[in-house]
Amino acid sequence: MAKKKLNKNWLHDHINDPYVKLAQKEGYRARAAYKLKEIDEDEKLIKPGQVIVDLGCTPGSWAQYTRRKLAGKDGGGVNGTLIGLDMLEMEPIADFHFIQGDFREARVLRQLEVVLQGRKVDLVLSDMAPNLSGIATADAARMEHLIDLAIEFSQLHLKPSGVLLVKCFKDMGFSQIVEKFRTEFKVVVQKKPKASRDKSSEIFLMGRGIKHPMKNAPEEDDSALDI
C-alpha cells in the first residue's frame, strides 16, 4: 500500500513538474535537458565547432540540447561534431552520430575513432547512473565505477583543456568521487541546477583540464563488463 501511494505521489509531482511541462512544450525527450542548459549557461561549455561526446546518451534530451546549441538560430546543420554512445537504442537525432554498444569494448571504440578522424574531444558529457540495488555500499561502488569509466574515457579522448561533466549522487560515495576528480582535473566545480529536484541527492561534477592524459588505449578486456 505504501509503495502504491509513493508511486501515485511521484506521478502527481511528475505531471505537475514545470520542467516536464516545458520539455513537452519545447520538444525535449526529458526534463534533464534543462539541467544541462543551466550548467552550460553558467560555465559556457558548448561552443561552435566543438567535438562533443555524450556517454549514456539515451533517451537523447542532452543530445537534443547540444544539437540545438550548435545549430544556431537558423536551425540548419550543426557547426561541430556530436557523438553519442549507449547500450540502449535511441531514436535518431539529426546531425548526431549515435553508436550503440558498450564504450569499453574495442568494437565500439573503433566506430568512435572513425567518426573522430584523429580529433580530440572538447567536451565529454555523462548523465549515466547505475541500476540501483537498494544496498548503499553496492550502489556507491557502481556509481564510482561509472565515474571511473568516464574519467578513463576522458583521459584517452579529451583535449588538454577539455571538460568532463558527470552526474553523481551525494549519498553514493560522493566525497571519494570529488577527490578522484581533483586528482585528475585542474579545475573541479560542483553544480546543482534548479531543474534537479530538491528531494534528489543528484549533483553534477565538472572537471576542466585533464592532468594525466593517456596516449594509448588499453588492450581489449571483455571480462567483467556488467555493472
Residue pLDDT, tens place only, 197-223: 888 899 999 999 999 898 754 444 433
Please report whether residue 12 resides in a domain.
no
Please report whether residue 76 resides in a domain.
yes
Residue range 140-195, pLDDT digits in tens: 999 999 999 999 999 999 999 999 999 999 989 999 999 999 999 999 999 999 99
Residue range 63-110, pLDDT digits in tens: 999 999 998 665 568 999 999 999 999 999 999 999 999 998 999 999
Please report whether residue 217 resides in a domain.
no
Q: Cell 578513463 sits at which residue?
A: 152
Q: Whole-angstrom Cα distance, residue 65 to residue 37?
A: 7
Please report whether residue 77 resides in a domain.
yes
Count the domains in the chain.
1
Please report whether residue 144 resides in a domain.
yes
221 marked as binding residue? no
Please report whether residue 83 resides in a domain.
yes
Report yes or no: 147 and 76 within 8 Å, Cβ to Cβ.
no
162 marked as binding residue? no
10 marked as binding residue? no
Residues annotated as catalytic (active site), given as ranges: 167
> Domain with 51 in it: what CATH number?
3.40.50.150
102 marked as binding residue? yes
Give the three cell numbers for residue 145: 565505477
Q: Which domain holds residue 150?
A: 30-210
Report yes or no: 55 and 124 within 8 Å, Cβ to Cβ.
yes
* pTM across the whole model: 0.88
Q: Whole-angstrom Cα distance, residue 119 to residue 98?
A: 17
Please report whether residue 102 resides in a domain.
yes
Please report whether residue 95 resides in a domain.
yes
Using CA atoms, how far residue 217 sits from 54, 56, 88, 179, in Å, is: 19, 20, 24, 24
127 marked as binding residue? yes
